[in-house]
Structure 1
């Protein structure tokens, strides 16, 4: 009996040791697999960052491992976030599915409403999208400001452009429906977005117009992205009561041709397909970001950045414009504003030349270190 018990004990410890070995082996394999996945994802992000500097086509065609990318947070459309304000002046982040809860926050039907659609990733720099949008929310308490963030990193931006544009556009449509159901008048809503966000905003506005038989009051498209396919350039006059396009680059990243009721070309950049850059910029992606900073300066700082109607850039350079027909970059535009508008701006903040920006002048050559960051 004792001999049998000893044999059983030996078998038990042998089996237990084998299980420990198997568990250790499995755990080691899992760690190696995890490290391998992290290495692949790191390579994916490096590749996307490199290709983004070459433009949307290169970015969309980047040979990344999408199977690995799909494992990481931020790829699924449900990972998008809403940023809304509380009555105590705090910005709160909500999952996109929490749209019905918006009525519980500081949303006042007596105010105008600005929905900013962010789908462009930037690293922390002078152009930090997230910092500007936070300032916008906390500064403009005269507005209902809602930020919809579809891109918190470059991988999410990739999936937005490649796969999720229609889903994100539908989310904007649902957001507009939720707001109008809460008592916000559609004509009091301005949708704004930069780059890919401009096309998502346009799609959401278009879906809302078709579904509700009414249009939002205004779409402000900031250098709409040329996208992977030309069919995904969705900014057009029919999607909102007024469509304002603020151009910035017009060669690799932004759309050059007029798309709205009003098309504004600061410094004429993007009007002609020439390799020129915005003041203070030494790259095309900087020029693509430049009108976003102009728009934020106008909204956050209240700076006047005037532009004048002109038949084309050549006429503007000659001073042959209708200087009685002017407007300021921002949220409010004259009811009779229509056509092409031009202005001169500076390489450093404040970017405005005020009324002197309505006349062509030779740009100073200095390059802002802030814009190069």
Structure 2
């Protein structure tokens, strides 16, 4: 894969809407547009604002009355993706949560519930395609994908109005897994961006209603959201909370939130710090930790990080190199605090153990020039 791989993520995110181009002389006043025309204007506006960050996206002056007429706005239109015993991924409506026990869900395996609320177009890189590959490749796990992402309008409603409903669906899914014989401590909830906050809310509701904790929450660059009260990733919602930071300015939360906070390349640790390797935009940096997480889970690649008091200490080599972890699903019970590592622009993204020590410039791998 060439060096533009991660940057290509930005292109896919920017293509999340259908074509809305109008003739140059068209009258775009509200009275002259059809409902479809108004919706096209909505989608164009949301896409433009999304590239500026969540606050701009949340404050976009869209016509919500028209948006609500289109399929995909209601949280009940979300989908579950589960596996059959014949290794087939099946899509179910979110209302079919109670049927989860009828699919290939085994109490003998650990369970990963991935909450997706970030839509990308079908292309070489696609969030949805990565999640399908995850389900098909990790048959040693019960992998269930909860997909709230249909388009940019759905995303807008999730961050503005539907967060509580989406979180309730995740809670109901966890309860259904318990009914299927899955232990709460064997469940990991994970999500990227808005999905991280939805997963955290589901875990929080589970604690409130059952007085139990799910085993783990993995929050991948959790979104800053429209309101600070909607940043729900925090210690206490799960037995272990792991946060993998990526951008830390207009999309992702910068401050430590979990028992473990991982800052690949130090990006997000300081405000307005440079972009992730291979990225040319903040959207790309926001997506970067998702790519790392998928590489670790799907390819089994080790991406180690070492505990350090700060990014400055990491740069100086003043870290506890006996206390290292690998990005993924399994973390030592004693791991706690801030962790840093270096990664590269192209897959495999890991530098292995060489990523544990700071260097101002990394040599290019020979495979990238071949």
Given the two structures, how large is their TM-score scaled by the length of structure 1?
0.88
CA RMSD, aligned part only? 1.6
Residue number in structure 2 paired with 1:69: 67
Residue number in structure 2 paired with 1:140: 138
Deviation of the 1:71 alpha carbon: 0.5
| 1:99-137 deviation digits (Å, cap 9, x = unpaired) | 111111000011000000001122334541001000000
Residue number in structure 1 paired with 2:284: 286
Deviation of the 1:274 alpha carbon: 2.6
SS in 1 for 2:242: strand
Structure-2 separation of matches of 1:314 and 1:122: 35
Residue number in structure 1 paired with 2:177: 179
Structure 1 gaps of 5+ residues are: 1-32
Paired residues for 1:1-373 under 5 Å: 36-363=34-361
Contact 1:127-1:289 within 8 A present in 2 as well = no
Contact 1:279-1:363 within 8 A present in 2 as well = no
Change in 2 beyond 3 A, CA 1:262/1:126: farther
Residue number in structure 1 paired with 2:13: none
Change in 2 beyond 3 A, CA 1:266/1:233: same
| 1:189-219 deviation digits (Å, cap 9, x = unpaired) | 0000000000000000010011011000000
Change in 2 beyond 3 A, CA 1:55/1:365: farther
Contact 1:198-1:220 within 8 A present in 2 as well = yes
Change in 2 beyond 3 A, CA 1:313/1:214: same
Structure-2 separation of matches of 1:124 and 1:260: 32
* Relative contact order higher in (CA < 8 Å, ≥ 6 apart): 2
Divergent runs of 4+, >3 A:
124-127, 363-366
Change in 2 beyond 3 A, CA 1:170/1:202: same
Structure-2 separation of matches of 1:41 and 1:299: 38
Change in 2 beyond 3 A, CA 1:257/1:319: same
SS in 2 for 1:145: strand
Deviation of the 1:249 alpha carbon: 0.2
